[in-house]
């Protein structure tokens, strides 16, 4: 009998549902929330309200596209945390209600663990592109910048992480002061292709270990704008592409410096990248360059699996279902996670 997992993701501002059947992806539906663009960032209350509106049609569409029915579902996987509490509660409550009505078990999923395991999503039974254990994963998004040692699907250890802003925050906040809108990362990426990354010098952090810091970079970028705008009020408009290129180059440089150290010290040359910022073209190119230069075997996700999506939740749930790791109906959501992911 086939194992059919319904995955539900609602940790931030994307409502998503996916169906995985016997480890193979059958559907992955995502409803994004444009309402936050006017505020320059995600507004938690608006996000939770939008999830309430979207979750029923999104789940229904995922089941329909997969060519299955609710009666075929073996278990329901949902993002328990970390994330925005109001958003998480919508997915949590819906998953529990559907679990009770169908009489199927619940599978709680750590959002960060799911991003890492997005590399194990298969579109066909024959696909075999997942990294072998152990491997090192750089998880970069709007809320997280972490280096993770992955020994198995259920054994991951954060060995380095940001002590302040995440890489995605640095992109978004700097883009905001440039007047580029939200989210700023994709706009910076597009503009950077037309700019000179060597034109402006931005500070780099000097902290030990594998931890990251992006607050100093952000501050130096703001000081640069302040000083130049005092001389030329049209400075940003004249130099958008060069500013974007310099910012992007600095962020990628910071990310890869610590990752190189972690890979060298661990002796593990299988290296993956995950999270929303892994869609950035400079990050992806840096991985390819490091593969050629240092002999890394790199794993770069499809663009559709970089942002928050339920396919990564469903594949994580599939692994947990196989081991009988079910979730108690009373399990609460959580907004933060410690260094040990699982």
Give binding residues as ranges: 111, 115, 139-143, 172, 185, 189, 280, 308
Annotated binding-site ranges for substrate: 139-143, 172, 185, 189, 280
CA atoms within 13 A on the CB side of 284: 13
Q: What is the 3-state secondary structure (H, E, C) of 94-111?
A: HHHHHHHHHCCCEEEEEH
179: alpha, beta or left? (left if phi > 0; alpha if psi -120 to 50): left
Name which of 237, 250, 238 is nearest 282 in CA terms: 250
Contact, 184 vs 174, CB < 8 A? yes
* E-assigned strand segments in the chain: 4-9, 14-21, 24-32, 75-81, 106-110, 135-140, 145-152, 155-161, 270-274, 297-299
Name which of 304, 303, 269 is nearest 287 in CA terms: 269
Annotated binding-site ranges for Fe cation: 111, 115, 308
Say which DSSP state 202 is in.
-
Return the structure tokens found at 255.
């990310």
């Amino acid at each position: 009998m086939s194992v059919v997992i319904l995955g539900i993701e609602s940790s931030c501002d994307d409502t998503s549902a996916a169906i995985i059947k016997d480890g193979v992806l059958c559907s992955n539906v995502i409803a994004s929330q444009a309402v936050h663009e006017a505020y320059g960032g995600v507004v938690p209350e608006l996000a939770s309200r939008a999830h309430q509106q979207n979750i029923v049609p999104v789940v229904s569409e995922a089941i329909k596209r997969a060519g299955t029915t609710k009666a075929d579902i073996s278990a329901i996987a949902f993002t328990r945390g970390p994330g925005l509490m109001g958003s998480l509660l919508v997915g949590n409550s819906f998953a529990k209600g559907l679990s009770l009505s169908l009489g199927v078990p619940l599978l709680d999923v750590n959002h960060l663990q799911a991003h890492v395991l997005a590399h194990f999503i298969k579109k066909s039974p024959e696909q075999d592109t997942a990294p072998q254990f152990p491997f090192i994963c750089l998880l970069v998004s709007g809320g997280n910048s972490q280096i993770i040692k992955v020994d198995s699907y259920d054994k991951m250890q954060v060995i380095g992480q940001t002590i302040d802003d995440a890489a995605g925050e640095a992109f978004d906040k700097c883009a905001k002061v440039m007047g580029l809108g939200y989210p700023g990362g994709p706009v910076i990426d597009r503009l950077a292709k037309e700019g000179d990354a060597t034109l402006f010098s931005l500070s780099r952090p000097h902290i030990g270990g594998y931890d990251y810091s992006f607050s100093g970079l952000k501050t130096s970028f703001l000081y640069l704008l302040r000083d130049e705008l005092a001389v030329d009020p049209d400075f940003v408009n004249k130099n958008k592409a060069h500013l974007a290129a310099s910012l992007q180059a600095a962020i990628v440089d910071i990310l890869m410096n610590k990752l190189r150290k972690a890979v060298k010290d661990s002796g593990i040359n299988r290296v993956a990248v995950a999270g929303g910022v892994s869609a950035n073209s400079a990050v992806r190119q840096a991985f390819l360059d490091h593969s050629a230069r240092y002999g890394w075997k790199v794993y770069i996700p499809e663009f559709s699996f970089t942002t928050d999506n339920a396919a990564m939740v469903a594949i994580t749930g599939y692994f947990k279902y196989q081991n009988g790791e079910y979730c108690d109906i009373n399990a609460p959501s959580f907004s933060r996670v410690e260094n040990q992911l699982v």
